[in-house]
Structure 1
Amino acid sequence: MIEKIEEIRDYLYKYLEARLDLFKTEAQEQIENIVIQIIYLVVLLLLVSLTGIFVFIMLAVLLNEWLDSRYWGFAIVFGLLLIKTIVWIRAGGWVNNIVRRLLYHIFKKN
Protein backbone atom coordinates (compact mmCIF):
# COMPACT_ATOMS: atom_id res chain seq x y z
CA MET A 1 0.00 0.00 0.00
CA ILE A 2 2.80 2.43 0.87
CA GLU A 3 4.53 1.55 -2.39
CA LYS A 4 1.38 2.49 -4.33
CA ILE A 5 1.19 5.82 -2.49
CA GLU A 6 4.86 6.47 -3.26
CA GLU A 7 4.26 5.61 -6.90
CA ILE A 8 1.25 7.94 -7.08
CA ARG A 9 3.29 10.67 -5.41
CA ASP A 10 6.08 10.22 -7.98
CA TYR A 11 3.61 10.38 -10.86
CA LEU A 12 1.97 13.47 -9.37
CA TYR A 13 5.37 15.11 -8.90
CA LYS A 14 6.35 14.34 -12.52
CA TYR A 15 2.99 15.64 -13.76
CA LEU A 16 3.36 18.90 -11.82
CA GLU A 17 6.91 19.29 -13.03
CA ALA A 18 5.82 18.74 -16.67
CA ARG A 19 2.96 21.27 -16.28
CA LEU A 20 5.35 23.82 -14.78
CA ASP A 21 7.82 23.35 -17.64
CA LEU A 22 5.00 23.72 -20.17
CA PHE A 23 3.79 26.91 -18.46
CA LYS A 24 7.35 28.30 -18.42
CA THR A 25 7.82 27.51 -22.09
CA GLU A 26 4.51 29.10 -23.09
CA ALA A 27 5.22 32.22 -21.02
CA GLN A 28 8.70 32.53 -22.51
CA GLU A 29 7.28 32.19 -26.03
CA GLN A 30 4.73 34.92 -25.40
CA ILE A 31 7.38 37.23 -23.96
CA GLU A 32 9.65 36.57 -26.94
CA ASN A 33 6.81 37.41 -29.34
CA ILE A 34 6.07 40.65 -27.50
CA VAL A 35 9.75 41.67 -27.50
CA ILE A 36 10.05 40.90 -31.22
CA GLN A 37 6.96 43.00 -31.96
CA ILE A 38 8.29 45.87 -29.84
CA ILE A 39 11.66 45.82 -31.63
CA TYR A 40 9.89 45.77 -35.00
CA LEU A 41 7.67 48.70 -34.00
CA VAL A 42 10.61 50.74 -32.67
CA VAL A 43 12.53 50.30 -35.92
CA LEU A 44 9.41 51.06 -37.95
CA LEU A 45 8.72 54.22 -35.92
CA LEU A 46 12.33 55.31 -36.35
CA LEU A 47 12.13 54.89 -40.14
CA VAL A 48 8.76 56.66 -40.33
CA SER A 49 10.11 59.51 -38.20
CA LEU A 50 13.17 59.96 -40.41
CA THR A 51 10.99 59.88 -43.51
CA GLY A 52 8.67 62.47 -41.98
CA ILE A 53 11.58 64.75 -41.11
CA PHE A 54 12.84 64.67 -44.69
CA VAL A 55 9.32 65.28 -46.06
CA PHE A 56 8.92 68.34 -43.82
CA ILE A 57 12.36 69.64 -44.83
CA MET A 58 11.45 69.22 -48.49
CA LEU A 59 8.11 70.96 -47.91
CA ALA A 60 9.86 73.86 -46.17
CA VAL A 61 12.39 74.22 -49.00
CA LEU A 62 9.57 74.07 -51.56
CA LEU A 63 7.68 76.82 -49.69
CA ASN A 64 10.89 78.87 -49.53
CA GLU A 65 11.24 78.65 -53.30
CA TRP A 66 7.57 79.40 -53.88
CA LEU A 67 7.57 82.39 -51.51
CA ASP A 68 11.03 83.52 -52.68
CA SER A 69 12.30 83.60 -49.11
CA ARG A 70 15.00 81.92 -47.08
CA TYR A 71 13.01 81.41 -43.87
CA TRP A 72 9.22 81.66 -44.40
CA GLY A 73 8.89 78.05 -45.53
CA PHE A 74 10.60 76.79 -42.40
CA ALA A 75 8.54 79.17 -40.23
CA ILE A 76 5.28 77.93 -41.79
CA VAL A 77 6.22 74.27 -41.36
CA PHE A 78 7.31 74.97 -37.77
CA GLY A 79 4.01 76.70 -37.04
CA LEU A 80 1.98 73.81 -38.45
CA LEU A 81 3.97 71.28 -36.44
CA LEU A 82 3.60 73.41 -33.31
CA ILE A 83 -0.18 73.57 -33.74
CA LYS A 84 -0.29 69.82 -34.32
CA THR A 85 1.77 69.23 -31.17
CA ILE A 86 -0.52 71.41 -29.07
CA VAL A 87 -3.61 69.59 -30.38
CA TRP A 88 -1.93 66.24 -29.63
CA ILE A 89 -1.08 67.29 -26.07
CA ARG A 90 -4.66 68.46 -25.44
CA ALA A 91 -6.04 65.14 -26.77
CA GLY A 92 -3.72 63.11 -24.50
CA GLY A 93 -6.37 61.66 -22.18
CA TRP A 94 -8.63 60.66 -25.06
CA VAL A 95 -5.72 59.02 -26.92
CA ASN A 96 -4.64 57.16 -23.75
CA ASN A 97 -8.11 55.66 -23.40
CA ILE A 98 -8.17 54.52 -27.02
CA VAL A 99 -4.70 52.95 -26.76
CA ARG A 100 -5.64 51.26 -23.49
CA ARG A 101 -8.76 49.73 -25.10
CA LEU A 102 -6.77 48.65 -28.16
CA LEU A 103 -4.11 46.93 -26.03
CA TYR A 104 -6.83 45.24 -23.97
CA HIS A 105 -8.39 43.78 -27.13
CA ILE A 106 -4.99 42.71 -28.51
CA PHE A 107 -3.94 40.89 -25.33
CA LYS A 108 -7.44 39.48 -24.77
CA LYS A 109 -7.15 37.56 -28.08
CA ASN A 110 -3.88 35.94 -26.98
Structure 2
Amino acid sequence: MASWSVLPDGVWDVTNDVIEVAIPVFDALDGLNDDFVLAINGTRSSAVNDAVVAFLGTAADELQMIQGRVPGAVTAAREATNALNHGDSEMAAIIQSQAVRAGSPPPHGAI
Protein backbone atom coordinates (compact mmCIF):
# COMPACT_ATOMS: atom_id res chain seq x y z
CA MET A 1 0.00 0.00 0.00
CA ALA A 2 1.26 3.46 -0.91
CA SER A 3 2.23 5.88 1.80
CA TRP A 4 0.81 9.38 1.57
CA SER A 5 2.11 12.55 3.09
CA VAL A 6 -0.25 15.43 2.54
CA LEU A 7 0.22 18.87 4.01
CA PRO A 8 -3.23 20.31 4.74
CA ASP A 9 -1.95 23.89 4.67
CA GLY A 10 -0.64 23.33 1.14
CA VAL A 11 -3.97 21.89 0.00
CA TRP A 12 -5.83 24.82 1.56
CA ASP A 13 -3.45 27.31 -0.07
CA VAL A 14 -3.97 25.77 -3.51
CA THR A 15 -7.75 25.45 -3.13
CA ASN A 16 -7.99 29.03 -1.85
CA ASP A 17 -6.05 30.17 -4.94
CA VAL A 18 -8.46 28.22 -7.16
CA ILE A 19 -11.46 29.82 -5.46
CA GLU A 20 -9.92 33.29 -5.76
CA VAL A 21 -9.42 32.85 -9.50
CA ALA A 22 -12.80 31.15 -10.03
CA ILE A 23 -14.98 33.78 -8.36
CA PRO A 24 -14.59 36.43 -11.10
CA VAL A 25 -15.23 33.75 -13.73
CA PHE A 26 -18.40 32.63 -11.96
CA ASP A 27 -19.52 36.24 -11.55
CA ALA A 28 -19.02 36.81 -15.28
CA LEU A 29 -20.91 33.64 -16.15
CA ASP A 30 -23.77 34.56 -13.82
CA GLY A 31 -24.17 37.90 -15.60
CA LEU A 32 -23.75 36.48 -19.08
CA ASN A 33 -27.43 35.97 -19.75
CA ASP A 34 -28.25 39.60 -18.94
CA ASP A 35 -25.36 40.76 -21.13
CA PHE A 36 -26.64 38.67 -24.04
CA VAL A 37 -30.14 40.08 -23.67
CA LEU A 38 -28.73 43.61 -23.70
CA ALA A 39 -26.66 42.86 -26.79
CA ILE A 40 -29.58 41.34 -28.66
CA ASN A 41 -32.02 44.09 -27.69
CA GLY A 42 -29.49 46.86 -28.16
CA THR A 43 -28.50 45.87 -31.67
CA ARG A 44 -31.83 44.41 -32.79
CA SER A 45 -29.70 42.33 -35.09
CA SER A 46 -30.72 38.87 -36.18
CA ALA A 47 -27.03 38.09 -36.71
CA VAL A 48 -26.24 38.89 -33.06
CA ASN A 49 -29.27 36.90 -31.94
CA ASP A 50 -28.25 33.92 -34.08
CA ALA A 51 -24.67 34.11 -32.79
CA VAL A 52 -25.79 34.19 -29.16
CA VAL A 53 -28.18 31.29 -29.68
CA ALA A 54 -25.46 29.29 -31.43
CA PHE A 55 -22.92 30.02 -28.71
CA LEU A 56 -25.29 29.07 -25.91
CA GLY A 57 -26.32 25.96 -27.77
CA THR A 58 -22.75 24.73 -27.92
CA ALA A 59 -21.28 26.13 -24.71
CA ALA A 60 -24.08 25.99 -22.13
CA ASP A 61 -23.34 22.45 -20.93
CA GLU A 62 -19.63 23.13 -20.57
CA LEU A 63 -20.19 26.41 -18.73
CA GLN A 64 -22.61 24.74 -16.35
CA MET A 65 -20.14 21.90 -15.78
CA ILE A 66 -17.40 24.40 -14.91
CA GLN A 67 -19.62 26.09 -12.36
CA GLY A 68 -20.35 22.76 -10.69
CA ARG A 69 -17.02 21.04 -11.02
CA VAL A 70 -14.67 23.68 -9.60
CA PRO A 71 -16.43 24.00 -6.22
CA GLY A 72 -16.88 20.23 -6.09
CA ALA A 73 -13.20 19.63 -6.75
CA VAL A 74 -12.17 22.12 -4.06
CA THR A 75 -14.48 20.51 -1.51
CA ALA A 76 -13.32 17.01 -2.45
CA ALA A 77 -9.65 17.95 -2.21
CA ARG A 78 -10.20 19.31 1.27
CA GLU A 79 -12.31 16.34 2.40
CA ALA A 80 -9.84 13.81 0.97
CA THR A 81 -6.99 15.64 2.71
CA ASN A 82 -8.86 15.47 6.01
CA ALA A 83 -9.51 11.76 5.50
CA LEU A 84 -5.86 11.05 4.69
CA ASN A 85 -4.66 12.97 7.71
CA HIS A 86 -6.99 10.94 9.89
CA GLY A 87 -5.49 7.75 8.47
CA ASP A 88 -8.45 6.87 6.25
CA SER A 89 -6.90 6.37 2.82
CA GLU A 90 -9.88 4.30 1.69
CA MET A 91 -12.28 7.19 2.34
CA ALA A 92 -9.88 9.60 0.63
CA ALA A 93 -9.91 7.39 -2.48
CA ILE A 94 -13.72 7.20 -2.43
CA ILE A 95 -14.02 10.98 -2.12
CA GLN A 96 -11.55 11.50 -4.96
CA SER A 97 -13.37 9.01 -7.19
CA GLN A 98 -16.76 10.63 -6.54
CA ALA A 99 -15.38 14.11 -7.20
CA VAL A 100 -13.92 13.08 -10.54
CA ARG A 101 -17.25 11.67 -11.71
CA ALA A 102 -19.47 14.41 -10.26
CA GLY A 103 -18.77 17.11 -12.81
CA SER A 104 -18.03 14.89 -15.77
CA PRO A 105 -20.40 14.94 -18.70
CA PRO A 106 -21.78 11.58 -19.80
CA PRO A 107 -19.70 9.79 -22.44
CA HIS A 108 -20.38 10.91 -26.02
CA GLY A 109 -23.49 9.19 -27.28
CA ALA A 110 -24.69 8.15 -23.82
CA ILE A 111 -28.32 8.68 -22.98
**TM-score normalized with structure 1 length:** 0.36
**TM-score normalized with structure 2 length:** 0.36
Greater RCO (Cα-Cα under 8 Å, separation 6 or more): 2
Q: Which has the higher Rg, Structure 1 or Structure 2?
A: 1
Greater percentage in helix: 1
